[in-house]
Structure 1
Amino acid sequence: MSFLEFRRLSVAFGDYVAVEGVSLRVAEGEFVSLVGPTGCGKSTLLNAAAGLLSPSEGEVWVAGRPLKGLNPLAGYLFQQDAILPWKTALDNVALPLVFRGTPWGEARERARAWLAKVGLERFAQRFPHQLSGGQRKRVGLAQVLIADPKLLLMDEPFSALDVQTRQLMENELLRLWQEDRKTVLFVTHDLEEAIALSDRVVVMAAGPRSRPIGDFPIPLPRPRDVAEVRLTPEFLRLHREIWELLRGEVLRAHAGT
């Protein structure tokens, strides 16, 4: 059963059509990654799923209903840190609960438990400028997950991290995802990251008027270690197969055609 569905979705900004006629289903509990060249509308689809953008044509369906306005079932982890610099790690994680009416005391207790889940219990009173890039991402991840979203939207959340920290965060994400299998739509420019994390990888055509042109199941066994899985023959086979399609779109985008 589809939890998230784009039905002939088109989004235009004036005369520029970012995506056109997109039909895509994401099953409940499925981890799907979108890959494609810059400007192919990946983030546009995330924003439409979050209810931040209204379709020019078509519909977004969530949990069997057409989406109208903001998506109350979604949590969004952005590429840039969205934590408040004047609040501690603990208070940043507690904020989503406070915004929903939870008293500060109860919200902080639940936030402590989430900081422990992401390995930051000793850093509860640190401010963002006192944390490393990876630690700030852990705070952001806990901040999103504490609200228990049914749909997790992620827009290149680890792209600014160094390679080692990025792999640690990818494994952290998979560990947390394994606990309750939320539905995930993940955007990345890194094909290796997409394969290592996902159940399916969807390739988007070069923009404008982008749409999905390839849909690849990833049959790698779970649980996975993202560093180890990259060394397996099946991973390399999948990478070659998907890159064969993706490479042409990247070249087309660079050529501006």
Structure 2
Amino acid sequence: MATVIPLKPAQGPTASAVRLTDIAIEFRIKGRPPYKAVAPTSLAVADGEFVAIVGPTGCGKSTLLNAVAGLLKPAAGKVEVYGQALAGLNAEAGYLFQQDAVMPWKTALDNVAIALEIKGVGREDALGAARDWLGRVGLGRFLDRYPHQLSGGQRKRVGLAQVLIRQPKILLMDEPFGPLDAQTRQIMGSLLLDLWAGDRKAVLFVTHDLEEAIALSDRVLIMSAGPEARIIGDHRIDLARPRDAADIRTHPRFHDIHKAIWGQLRAEVIKTYGEEA
């Protein structure tokens, strides 16, 4: 049996693509006190760093991501992007949601090209870039397919190309591979790592899957059960890169890391089940 090596808390990066300082998030409910979803909490993601957030269902992982995207305004605290206070939508970020954002009446090529066309890029230039990105995600032979003619994994590849074609500096991902089967998730994870290795964007990746978080990221943050959830763990993932999202899971160190993080995460998951009982 492998020896369990305790993980040291990761030190916060000094040069941050994203920095949240004492962020608190509340939701107003008519006739009731405000629901305090996230208690004051802080995090930082360095430029080029891949950070995953895990935690029990309903703990506010997606809520934090939406604050970074500029889709909601915190009740307190500060959101900074490359040292500048965020006001409105985060123009430096690309956001990949759990649900497909592809338009069913457009081909894969048009679905990707429109991400540039709406920014004023000419039709021919947008189509050329879209062909290139669909080739990068392994869909070069499927340019003329409509979404209903693609598998779930292929539609996710179209969605990934839609986001990356805009060349965002920050990539926000909210359970992007959640609806896929286990094998396809691992394939998509490896594809994501290959693409990320090319320019090392800052990534904030929300997932319920601890194995996925460890396989992909440089750090794993743990959120407590809500309400008033907060970040309670910050663990450095000391697995060498480049990685294969499937093969890395057989590495002895992977299992040591998983055991150490799960020891903290498990208690928060149990709290959630206790509240539902």
- What's the TM-score once normalised by structure 2's chain length? 0.92
Match of 1:13 in 2: 27
SS in 2 for 1:251: helix
Q: How far 1:96 sits from its partner (Å)?
A: 1.3
Deviations 1:15-46 (A, max 9, x none): 11111111101111000000000011000011
Match of 1:191 in 2: 210
In 2: Cα distance, 1:120 partner to 1:80 partner: 19
| 2:76 alignment partner, one of 45, 57, 72 | 57
AA at the equivalent of 2:42 = S
Deviations 1:159-180 (A, max 9, x none): 1111111111000000000000
SS in 2 for 1:230: helix
AA at the equivalent of 2:90 = N
| 1:135 alignment partner, one of 154, 169, 181 | 154
Structure 1 residue runs without a partner (length 5+): none
Match of 1:28 in 2: 47
Does the 8 A contact of 2:187 with 2:246 survive in 1? Answer: no
Q: Which runs of 4+ in 1 moved over 3 A?
A: none
In 1: Cα distance, 2:188 partner to 2:16 partner: 27
May I ask how many residue pairs the two structures share in their alignment?
257
Does the 8 A contact of 2:94 with 2:172 survive in 1? Answer: yes
Structure 2 matches for 1:143-158, cutoff 5 A? 143-158=162-177
Q: How far 1:60 sits from its partner (Å)?
A: 0.6
Q: How far 1:253 sits from its partner (Å)?
A: 1.0
Deviations 1:201-254 (A, max 9, x none): 000000010110000000100010111111111100000000000000000011
- What's the TM-score once normalised by structure 1's chain length? 0.99
AA at the equivalent of 1:153 = L
AA at the equivalent of 1:87 = K
Structure 2 residue runs without a partner (length 5+): 1-14, 29-33
Could you say what the CA RMSD is over the residues aligned between the two structures, in angstroms? 0.8
1:120 paired with 2:120, answer: no
SS in 2 for 1:86: coil
In 1: Cα distance, 2:141 partner to 2:247 partner: 29
Deviations 1:98-131 (A, max 9, x none): 0110011110011000011011011001100000
Structure 2 matches for 1:30-179, cutoff 5 A? 30-179=49-198
AA at the equivalent of 1:43 = S
In 2: Cα distance, 1:94 partner to 1:12 partner: 37
Match of 1:246 in 2: 265
Match of 2:10 in 1: none
In 2: Cα distance, 1:156 partner to 1:118 partner: 19
AA at the equivalent of 1:4 = V
AA at the equivalent of 2:72 = L
1:234 paired with 2:262, answer: no
Deviations 1:35-87 (A, max 9, x none): 00001100001100000000110111001101000000000000000111111
In 1: Cα distance, 2:142 partner to 2:222 partner: 39
In 1: Cα distance, 2:106 partner to 2:252 partner: 46
AA at the equivalent of 2:247 = E
Match of 2:9 in 1: none
The percentage of aligned residue pairs carrying the same residue is 61
In 1: Cα distance, 2:26 partner to 2:40 partner: 11
In 2: Cα distance, 1:3 partner to 1:110 partner: 26
In 2: Cα distance, 1:17 partner to 1:92 partner: 38
AA at the equivalent of 2:137 = V
SS in 1 for 2:44: strand
